[in-house]
Structure 1
Amino acid sequence: MRLWVTALCLATLPQILVAQSSPGTTAKPKPPAPQAHSDSPQMAPKAQLASPQVAAKDLPVRKVVLYKNGVGYFEHAGTVSGNQRVTIDFTSPQLNDVLQSLTVLDEGGGRIAGVNYNSTTPLAEQLKTLSLGMTEDPTSTELFGALRGQKVEVTGGPSSGLGGGTISGRLMSIETRTEKTGSDENAKTIDKFYLTIIAGSGAVRVIELTPTLSVRPTDPSLQGELDRYLELLSSTHSTGLRHLTLDAVGQGQRELRVSYISEVPVWKVTYRMVFPREADGKTTLQGWAVVDNTVGADWDNVQLSLVAGAPQSFIQPISQPLYTPRPEIPISTDAQTTPQTHEAAEMLNDALVAPSSPQMQASAPRKDLRQELKGGYQANALGSVSQSVAVNAENMAIGGPVGVGGARMGFVAGGVYRPSDAIAEGDVSTNAFDDFFQYSLTQPVTIHKNESAMVPILQQELPAEHVTLWSRNEPRPLRAVWLENKSKLTLDAGSFSIFESGEFAGEGLLDSIHPGERRLLSYAADQAMRVKITDQQSQRTLHHLQVHKGLIVERYMDVASITYSATNSADEDRAVLLEHPRRTNGWSLDEGLKPAEATPDTYRFKVAVKAHATEKLEVREHGPEFTTVTINPNQNTNAYLIDLVKRVPNAESELKPIIDAQAKLADLDQAIADAKKQEETAAADEARDRDNLTALKGNDAARRFVDELNHAEDLLQSTRKHTADLDQQKAAAVENLRTQINALNYDWDVTPKN
């Protein structure tokens, strides 16, 4: 309902525009639109007295450092002469980051007189200048509410109730009515809107608001207000560029540097592993970085660095004009006096104390977030970096053709048969610091705005072995590469593709691999291998028993064995890595059984399986297991203790007092339960005899029930006394059992003590 009503309201706007341009209509001039801040510099008084400035010039980007947390460090540099104005373009989303981190340095002894940028007043504040009183997202009810009291013309079709005619008057109100439609069984409720129009003659018309009804304001000034309102709504959808203007004041030619951070797309890493046709235990690892330029300026011949680190960063909306809410204080008015009488002077008057006026306490000023600039300017300062990787791309054509989707493929790979010569060995240097690492291209890079590029960051031969990986978590065997990072570089996390014998073999993902680490990288299913568990055994032997104050700890030595079977149906031999769960609570492998490597959770055993053959591997391990039982008077553990004595006959003499005490306590519990049943039966008999005696009161037969009642009462008293005696015996038995438990101290080992 709201959608078509809103559409109906907006449909009147073309009529408004026609009314404004029609002859004979006198429209009031539109209120002037709020002007954005001027791009012209706001110079200090001394700067205004200086020599005239030359025309503004652009300050190009010279250095870009991209981080993995989605921020980038940008540095603009250029030469200025005298009093010079320079401009830098940003997108609107960049502006908050720029204002928060902007650093400007005039290296020739000059100074920066001012930094200006084009801004806009928030829409909510601009709407306050209009008399309509509508919000940024008005409903149809709110729109008609803004037209209340205004002269309108209402025109409708045959179904509107107006017969295709037109009525004029003032809009009094719009109301919603909920009505039922259909039969009683299938009744539905719908909302209908009704307008109340007061004609010039005073007649009141209530008209249903239907899709065929048209409402047009006749006041030209109101038409101008609606037109201005729509213009403001439309202006919020246009983002455009923000132009930052800096006023550099000084003498002669000098270098000006501007740096800041900005939100940018995260740079991505993708690798290629190219294996030669004849296996030699090595692969050529080629790394590429995908970089996107979505900022407002071109990167022409910039020094590009890619950092795999995440410095802390955040966004504050400091580019938006903020309006602080202020308290609204009511206007004080003098009290109106009324005629009154006064008492005589002889009477005592009570002292009247005027109430003190309310005091307003000013709130504490808000704390500003300030950024402290430390030290002088460092041209290559990038924050905490653990490795600086300089990549020599001298032979690469940076300005290559634009690929699919606007991505600039400036670097051309050499295909899968021979690795690309884009990066020669020996062109990579490292510098360790903290836990970050960085790739820096030694040659300038050009990436225009709204374009992307693939940048080569690594090419090196590394040891790699093809294996088949199997684990219980993934029963299907996987083809994998056992890659060892023999380089001095940290391989950043990303995707990779495998090429074998000149063909694509699969792809996968890798985590960061530090120098010296070896990592398994799976990339395809191995359909020629079948791995299964053919045998599984376990044996437990009690090695130690300790009993202390009711706590019994049994220590067992477990010996477990699992037999794996691996069958190779391929024509080539396979190296299979079997992942076996690793227990870390004292368990160890049998002597002579060593895994190829171990992780915190698994052992990896390497098994060589020839073509069309089956190999088996038995993994034997041993370790302790513990069983803990607590003896207490509130729980009968005799079944467990009797079984324990059978397994450890030497413990019978120590545990027999506990067994006997628990047996006696169990007998008392049974006797108490029986006594309570007898007590309940005696109480029921006594109550029945008493009721019979009451019913036969005054009758000769009542004498017999008197004797029965006396007998029942004696029996009830006797059973209650017996139950109380048993409760006392149980309390004594519980205390005796507790004493026996606290005195129990026994230690037994399967190995005789010398």
Structure 2
Amino acid sequence: MPRPLHTRFAMLATVLVLTNAHAAQDADAADDGGRVVAVSLSSGGMAQVRRVFSVDGNQTLHVQAPLRDVDDWLKSLVVRDPAGTVAGMSLDGPAPLEETFRTLPFDAQDMAALPDLAQALAGTRVRASSGGRNVEGVILGVERPAQGPTPAGEAAEPAARLSVLTAPGRIDLLRLGPDATLEILDDAMRERLTRAATVTGLGTAQHARNLAIALEGTGAREVVLDHLVAAPVWKTSHRLVLQDDGKARLQSWAVVENATGEDWRDVELTLTTGAPVMYRQALYEHTWHERPVLGIETGAAEPPRRDDSAERPMAEASAASGQLMLNRAARVAAAPAPAPPPPMAAGSAGAAPAEEGATAASYRLPRPVTLAAGGTLAIPFVDAEVAGSRIAVFQADRGQRHPVAGVMLQNDTGVTLPPGILTVYDPDGAHAGDAALAAVPPSESRLALFAEDRKVEVTAETRPQEDITDVRIADGVLQATRVQRLNTQYRVKGAPDAARELLIEVPRRPGWQARSDALSGETATHWRLRQHLDAGAQAEIALVQERQQAQTLALLDADADVLMRWSGAAADDATRERLRELADLRRELAGAEQAVQRADGDLERAQANQARVRDNLAAVPADSTLGQRYVKMLADEEDRIAGLAEARDAAAAKATAMREMLGSALAKPAS
């Protein structure tokens, strides 16, 4: 990065003015574009350029920026002025010609001919002269006589005539000859016409914009500009030279390209590496708020989800592993043979030779191609017979009751088929629908779904289920296996007039497994069930999705009811009896602890009553009848407190004993 300047600086943040006018450079303007003194190239494909300008007092800096770099200038420009501030920056807009003529009564074509311009300036006060004659007034219009042959057979030169309303209210006609002149007397219109002429003259230099940066400061000084532009990524090549002493010499070379559009002379160059985030924003373009468009409802079916991955067979169940595995479908009815494709038209172009590379496929067209500039060419590059069986696909996550008609397309061409739109025709040549085809590697298959099959209906009903399959106790912790199941029943009503091969796609759940007699395969995202349907047939397909979850419970903290519930789920009698024993001990412990709490409450209330009696005794004479009564009550309460304390100690001892018994029972190893 260029070395920072230790001066106060002003950053262009809000004072950016875009104007259609091309500002003329003032006498105090610096128009040399500054000196490029430093460039920092980033591995992210950006160049930070530092320019230095010598200025004196208030001055305007002028820099020609390529049009492609204007967005980056507006995004990144920073001005460092040691004795001044930035007043603003102006530049022509993205479409100066269009913006300039938007509010004018004439366009650029009208300015090419005086009669056209005069016609467009109707209502403007002018002074016109032609053929030695002068008129002054308001333009009413221009009359253009029709061309036609003269009596001698020669073509007459057309002469437009200008109609002017003069001051006395008279209408004068002035023939506009080759020496005609037109002077605009309206100051505002004359200024607008001058601006239009200036912008029109700049129309040939639309590849660049003049940036005018106004500075307000005092004294002679150097002003620094930093900005970013797009640049080629610089490259590195290393050389390592090994030596006999176990050391080596390394040379690293950088490949740098200057794509800034201007020369570098004695530039300080910095190369940076890393992974910076780089954005480009269309700051220089007009931005309009887009209103939503209300669509027209049609009868077309909702586009189905595209098939993006290959199907693979389900793993066979393994009885030895004891784990739940996905079952391969026991029986899958054979699909009917696809109808032969319609014959290719005579004289159709042959397939292009193809080659499958490590990461790409290439097709070489067999013939030279001729195409005019601006033209379009359509030419075949694959012409092969491939396997494609019709199928009805019910996508459970689509939310529809009808499946989608499709083709299971197998790529037998030996080379990857590129992705794209697929237009499907029926065997009789009628258009059946369109499909979105993902890339298909050689020998793989993809579903191409092209229309809703409204003759087939599929409904689904799902019931959740949860079971405890294993309960064990170890080190005072209950360990259980919980099995969650989703039992889904698909009811299918087939087409009344033809058989169907039905494929049901069910979204895969992370951590879940599937079981079904109809399970035939899986993709990266879905399970697939297959069912053959005869014409008018109905069928039911069952699918079980399940997953196992381990659950633990600290038995010392579990109450008796929880322990009894878990005893009912125990897998063996020994665990069941032990949980019931623990539940009894936990219930007795809970009763002992409740007895301690009751004793504590009774003792607190007795002590509070004793304090009340003592306060009452202090308020009356001790030898009075009431005083003697309070003395007796104190003695009785003291005896009661002693008994309560003894009962509380007994309850606490029992609770401690029960806690120790529960701990011993938990520590006992499983039988």
Query: Which of the five TM-score ranges fits, normalised by the shorter chain?
Result: 0.3 to 0.5
TM-score by structure 2 length?
A: 0.47
TM-score (norm 1): 0.42
